[in-house]
Chains A and B, each alone.
Chain A
Amino acid sequence: MTVSTVPLEEVPRPPRADLAPPRRLRVSGSEDVRAATLANGMRVIVWPVRNIPNIALYNWVRAGSRNEAPGATGLAHFFEHMMFNGTSRHPPGEFDRLMEAEGGANNAFTSDDVTVYQDWFPAGALERVLDLESDRVAHLAFTPEVIESERGVVASERRLRVEDNSHGLLAEQVQATAFVAHPYRFPTIGWPADIRSWRLEDLQAFYRTYYAPNNLTLALAGDLDPQGAIALVRRFFEPIPAQAPPPPVRTVEPEQLCERRVLVRRRAQTPLLQCAYKAPAAADSRAPAVSLLLGALVEGDASRLHRILVEDRRLAIEVGGHWQEGFDPGLLWLSLVLPEGVDAEEAREALDAELAAVVADGITEAELERARNLATVGLWKKLASIDGKAQLLGEYEVFHGDWSRLFDAPARIAEVTADGLRTVAAEILDVRRRTLGVLIPSEEARGAPAAAPPASVGP
């Protein structure tokens, strides 16, 4: 790589620090991370960091739309909403009212695999927050009126993210087409008819099955004393009895036999193209190579697909990608937003030609180095905040089986070779194992139902 020194000859350049990434990531304070398993099987990981007088908490529940069944899709996400709506000790609304009055804010998200509850609060509120968090795991109550009101909230969220959103509308169709058996085919927000029809019993059964301490991983980072924090977690969570482990998801998605295509017509201005390739699970040994492949293809203006499709050929205005890194083999998405009037077929051909070149020839050493460096900086950016630290600890514990693997991440990134990456590209970027979604703008106003059904499945 050439580095220009044009204006600065007189400034001595200090020796560049060793360019090879360290085997273990050295983060200040990382040696103080402590973990414990409570008697009921709950995992706790704490990381003391004293930059600001706050703590970030992530409570990971191993339950997502992967654990749902037809007729009650979206239940895991709806359940996430209901977790804020009252317990036998605190009426609806109290959770947020009490937390905010002590300076805490919260949020939560649900994915195909997990539901994650997040709190950010001043260090002095730790006891209050753990009290509230353990209370809703132990004593959640369901009020029928609140269920009805929350149904309306989720329907509004769905209209925002799917029905009034070209991107969300197409992605939902692609995901539902990519899987024929595995519950990864369900949209996390839920199908509209299911949102309208959940019953109290569904919620109660879901709670009993998944909201058990042995199904939780709690990660805390911030202004705390590790032993004291773990003792507090024990005090609040250890009395909650363990339950039988949730039933495993037995379905294994059968091998995809050929490419699937789904077409959506919607009143819009810009066409969209989405490709979802079958991809490995998070814990797969190929994971670092998959991440770097995605980075090389779509991260940044110098990425392969951005340069070819957006800058050189101007067939797209945006390229993006996402690896759905879950417990089971999922999808690697490549997503293109096309300019108005561009033929989606022409864009697809250009995309396919470039992906075929990557499969045949791999990527260059410079592209690999770029992807590695971007991944490393991405990791450091997350590690700069207590929020990122708590998130990463939980993510590695839940999806990779051990929080300490976080600190092996740079070494695993460094180990990926151009050849190894080409092999993984050839395994994943196989047209026969992808689902192609196209959204074509249409002049007709949309009536109910909100989306056109898939117009073709083939070839």
Chain B
Amino acid sequence: MTVRVPQHERLSLGNGVALILVPRRDVPLVAFNAVLRGGGLADPGSRPGVASIVAGLLEKGAGERNAYAFADVVEGVGGSFGAGAGPEAITVRGQFLARDQQLMLELLADALLRPLLDGGELEELADRHIELIKAAKDSDPSELIGTYGRAFLFEDHPYGRPVFGSEASLAAIDRDDVLRYYEGQFGAERLILVLAGDIDADLLARMAADSFSRWPATAAPPPALARPRARGGRRVQLIDFPGSAQTYFWVGSVGVDKRYPRRAALDLVNTLFGGRFTSLLNSELRIKSGLSYGARSSFARGSVPGEFSLRSFAQTENTGRALELALRTLDRLRCDGVSREMLESARAYTLGQYPLGLETAADWAAVLAEIELYGLGKAYIDEYPAQLAAVGVAEAQAVIEEAFPAADSVAIVAIGDAARIEGALSEYGPVSRMSLTDPEFSLPWASGDGFRP
């Protein structure tokens, strides 16, 4: 038995809405995934976070309901409804009991077509998001390290912007920003709507057509996304967290995009490097040395190349040792490549694990939306096992050269006690320093575009 894209229906409404229906009847739940192209890409450069705030406001009052009434009706039937922004799209998702599938679609139509975008709710949401960033700094600074890392690596490229916003940018967002975003970025041709689970497909298709087919398209496509430039050399961003017990570090470089043709080989090599428990990275930093609770690596792939990153953490006094070990492991991958035996193990592992993310109706709603968003086609899933089977050592070597950085050509970000670790870090390149309590995720760029108020 292999996992294949389930039977589904793909309809295109006249105005460009893509509607995908995926019946699946094991449990009496229905899930939706509504993806609107644009996301953080369409944020004003000086105010990241607008898309995220717009997404948050979709459920804070829509149609005839204010924010309280909306939450009451969703949760009153046991449903869930939430939205968030990513770098290239806003995603709204939720799950309801099958008996409430019509209500679910009504609420979604209200949220997308008739959001109130209330000024009071905006102020409350932005304030809350600012405080949530501070709380994350207090209770899990490693959760934010990717945001710091992308800002340092991509600089003023849109992938470098904090999509959630920064404390400073969130404080500056006003209702005009929100209305301008909604008017410019919400429209029919941007919408991918997937409905999955114990659905009445005919009924929902008719309802969706009634609700969405009169929605106008937007005036212009989402802003174009340039390929990020890889800056050569190695540099360090130190984020001071006085008194911290350990240092959290991130090492990144510009990687590959969603349509990278060697995706199966990439998955296998990353599995071996930092994608599973016995990976090279975790073996060095955890299993053999006991320096860290864990170390891993991943690729974020978008319409254009996102980041390769590795991350780990170690006790403050072991910062240099742990970072050195991580970089040496990266060099080792570049020098030694992977053996046939390693590749076989990674292949078995990847083949054994990927079905676990393709199990529930909610899983399929998310995956089919992603396939549609990036134009990947169902071969992206159906041919994946055959692609994995075909990867040989030579292709793995090609991936290592194309997608993994040399250890002397990376951006390094460390959150830790600056007074105790700056010396060790300065061995790895010029160090720029900021504080964990700064209201931005980056220092202002030399080019300066008014990022800092």
Task: Indicate with 1 or 0, residue by residue over B380-398, a CB within 8 angstroms of chain A CB atoms.
Answer: 0000000000000000000
* Interface residue stretch chosen among A199-207, A380-388, A419-427: A380-388
CA distance A383 to B27 in the complex (A): 7
CA distance A392 to B138 in the complex (A): 33
In the assembled complex, the CB of B425 is this many whole angstroms from the nearest CB of chain A, namely 18
Residue of B nearest to A10 (CB): B210
Is there a chain B Cβ closer than 8 Å to A376's Cβ?
yes
Contacts of A339 in B (CB 8 A): 127-128, 131
Q: With A27-B27, A156-B315 known to touch, is A164 a contact of B246 (CB < 8 Å)? A: yes
Is there a chain A Cβ closer than 8 Å to B449's Cβ?
no
CA distance A27 to B140 in the complex (A): 38
Chain A positions 327-353 with a Cβ under 8 Å from a chain B Cβ: 337, 339-340
- Judge whether B361 and A384 touch: CB under 8 Å: yes
Q: With A11-B102, A373-B78, A377-B79 known to touch, is A104 a contact of B290 (CB < 8 Å)? A: no
Residue of B nearest to A15 (CB): B99
Is there a chain B Cβ closer than 8 Å to A284's Cβ?
no
Of the candidates B75, B352, B361, the one whose C-beta lies within 8 Å of that of A121 is B352
Chain B positions 95-145 with a Cβ under 8 Å from a chain A Cβ: 95-99, 102-103, 106, 109-110, 124, 127-128, 131-132, 134-135, 137-142
- Judge whether B73 and A97 touch: CB under 8 Å: no
Could you say which interface size class chain A belongs to? Answer: 35 or more
CA distance A374 to B27 in the complex (A): 15
- Judge whether B77 and A373 touch: CB under 8 Å: yes
Is there a chain B Cβ closer than 8 Å to A216's Cβ?
no
Contacts of A251 in B (CB 8 A): none
Residue of A nearest to B351 (CB): A103
- Judge whether B245 and A450 touch: CB under 8 Å: yes
- Judge whether A104 and B352 touch: CB under 8 Å: yes
In the assembled complex, the CB of A303 is this many whole angstroms from the nearest CB of chain B, namely 8
In the assembled complex, the CB of A309 is this many whole angstroms from the nearest CB of chain B, namely 12
Is there a chain A Cβ closer than 8 Å to B1's Cβ?
yes
Is there a chain B Cβ closer than 8 Å to A5's Cβ?
yes
Task: Indicate with 1 or 0, residue by residue over A129-164, a CB within 8 angstroms of chain B CB atoms.
Answer: 000000000000000000011111111110110011
- Judge whether A155 and B276 touch: CB under 8 Å: no
CA distance A395 to B241 in the complex (A): 40
Contacts of B374 in A (CB 8 A): none
CA distance A150 to B59 in the complex (A): 46
CA distance A317 to B139 in the complex (A): 14
Is there a chain B Cβ closer than 8 Å to A41's Cβ?
no
Contacts of B292 in A (CB 8 A): 153, 156
Is there a chain A Cβ closer than 8 Å to B203's Cβ?
yes
Contacts of B128 in A (CB 8 A): 310, 317, 339
Q: With A106-B277, A380-B97 known to touch, is A6 a contact of B358 (CB < 8 Å)? A: no
* Interface residue stretch chosen among B177-185, B227-235, B281-289: B281-289
Chain B positions 76-99 with a Cβ under 8 Å from a chain A Cβ: 76-80, 95-99
In the assembled complex, the CB of A105 is this many whole angstroms from the nearest CB of chain B, namely 6
Is there a chain B Cβ closer than 8 Å to A243's Cβ?
no
Is there a chain A Cβ closer than 8 Å to B63's Cβ?
yes
Of the candidates A152, A381, A445, the one whose C-beta lies within 8 Å of that of B242 is A445
In the assembled complex, the CB of A194 is this many whole angstroms from the nearest CB of chain B, namely 17
Is there a chain B Cβ closer than 8 Å to A111's Cβ?
no
- Judge whether A5 and B355 touch: CB under 8 Å: no
* Interface residue stretch chosen among B41-49, B146-154, B324-332, B342-350: B342-350
Contacts of B276 in A (CB 8 A): 100, 105
Contacts of B131 in A (CB 8 A): 270, 317, 337, 339-340
Is there a chain A Cβ closer than 8 Å to B426's Cβ?
no
Contacts of B132 in A (CB 8 A): 317-318
Is there a chain A Cβ closer than 8 Å to B356's Cβ?
yes
Contacts of A32 in B (CB 8 A): none
In the assembled complex, the CB of A364 is this many whole angstroms from the nearest CB of chain B, namely 11
Is there a chain A Cβ closer than 8 Å to B314's Cβ?
yes
Residue of A nearest to B107 (CB): A4
CA distance A270 to B25 in the complex (A): 45
Is there a chain B Cβ closer than 8 Å to A250's Cβ?
no
Chain B positions 253-292 with a Cβ under 8 Å from a chain A Cβ: 276-278, 286-292
- Judge whether B290 and A152 touch: CB under 8 Å: yes
CA distance A295 to B114 in the complex (A): 30
* Interface residue stretch chosen among B64-72, B157-165, B296-304: B64-72
Q: With A6-B106, A53-B3 known to touch, is A102 a contact of B68 (CB < 8 Å)? A: no
Is there a chain A Cβ closer than 8 Å to B432's Cβ?
no
CA distance A27 to B26 in the complex (A): 7
Contacts of B315 in A (CB 8 A): 155-156, 159
Contacts of B223 in A (CB 8 A): none
Contacts of B110 in A (CB 8 A): 4, 6
Contacts of A10 in B (CB 8 A): 210
Residue of A nearest to B349 (CB): A100
Task: Indicate with 1 or 0, residue by residue over A296-323, a CB within 8 angstroms of chain B CB atoms.
Answer: 0001111100010011001001100000
Residue of A nearest to B352 (CB): A103
Contacts of B71 in A (CB 8 A): 300-302
CA distance A190 to B226 in the complex (A): 50
Residue of B nearest to A53 (CB): B1
CA distance A93 to B279 in the complex (A): 11
- Judge whether A270 and B134 touch: CB under 8 Å: yes
CA distance A154 to B315 in the complex (A): 12
Most buried by B among A52, A96, A165: A52
- Judge whether B68 and A377 touch: CB under 8 Å: no
Is there a chain A Cβ closer than 8 Å to B362's Cβ?
yes
CA distance A163 to B362 in the complex (A): 36
Most buried by B among A3, A102, A446: A3
Of the candidates B102, B139, B349, B361, the one whose C-beta lies within 8 Å of that of A103 is B349
- Judge whether B141 and A164 touch: CB under 8 Å: yes
- Judge whether B63 and A54 touch: CB under 8 Å: no
Residue of B nearest to A51 (CB): B359
Residue of B nearest to A9 (CB): B210
In the assembled complex, the CB of B42 is this many whole angstroms from the nearest CB of chain A, namely 26
CA distance A356 to B333 in the complex (A): 61
- Judge whether A160 and B293 touch: CB under 8 Å: yes
- Judge whether B3 and A52 touch: CB under 8 Å: yes
- Judge whether B95 and A377 touch: CB under 8 Å: yes
Is there a chain A Cβ closer than 8 Å to B172's Cβ?
no
In the assembled complex, the CB of A391 is this many whole angstroms from the nearest CB of chain B, namely 14
CA distance A51 to B2 in the complex (A): 10
- Judge whether A384 and B109 touch: CB under 8 Å: no
Residue of B nearest to A104 (CB): B352
- Judge whether B359 and A5 touch: CB under 8 Å: no
In the assembled complex, the CB of A434 is this many whole angstroms from the nearest CB of chain B, namely 22
Q: With A102-B348, A159-B245, A166-B138 known to touch, is A377 a contact of B102 (CB < 8 Å)? A: no
In the assembled complex, the CB of A19 is this many whole angstroms from the nearest CB of chain B, namely 8
Contacts of B345 in A (CB 8 A): 97, 100-101
Is there a chain A Cβ closer than 8 Å to B372's Cβ?
no
Q: Identify the A interface with B (CB < 8 A).
A: 1-8, 10-11, 13-14, 16-17, 19, 27-28, 50-54, 93, 96-97, 100-106, 120-123, 125, 148-157, 159-160, 163-168, 223, 266-270, 299-303, 307, 310-311, 314, 317-318, 337, 339-340, 366, 369-370, 372-377, 380-381, 383-387, 441, 445-447, 450
Top 5 closest pairs, chain A to chain B, by CB: A103-B352, A373-B78, A152-B290, A149-B290, A377-B78
What are 17 sample pairs from A and B whose C-beta atoms fall under 8 A apart?
Answer: A4-B65, A10-B210, A53-B355, A102-B352, A122-B351, A149-B289, A164-B246, A167-B139, A223-B1, A266-B138, A299-B75, A300-B75, A317-B135, A369-B76, A370-B78, A377-B80, A380-B28
Given A7-B109, A100-B276, list of 16 further CB < 8 A pairs? A8-B211, A11-B210, A14-B200, A19-B99, A27-B27, A103-B348, A103-B351, A104-B349, A150-B290, A156-B314, A164-B244, A301-B75, A318-B132, A339-B131, A366-B72, A383-B27
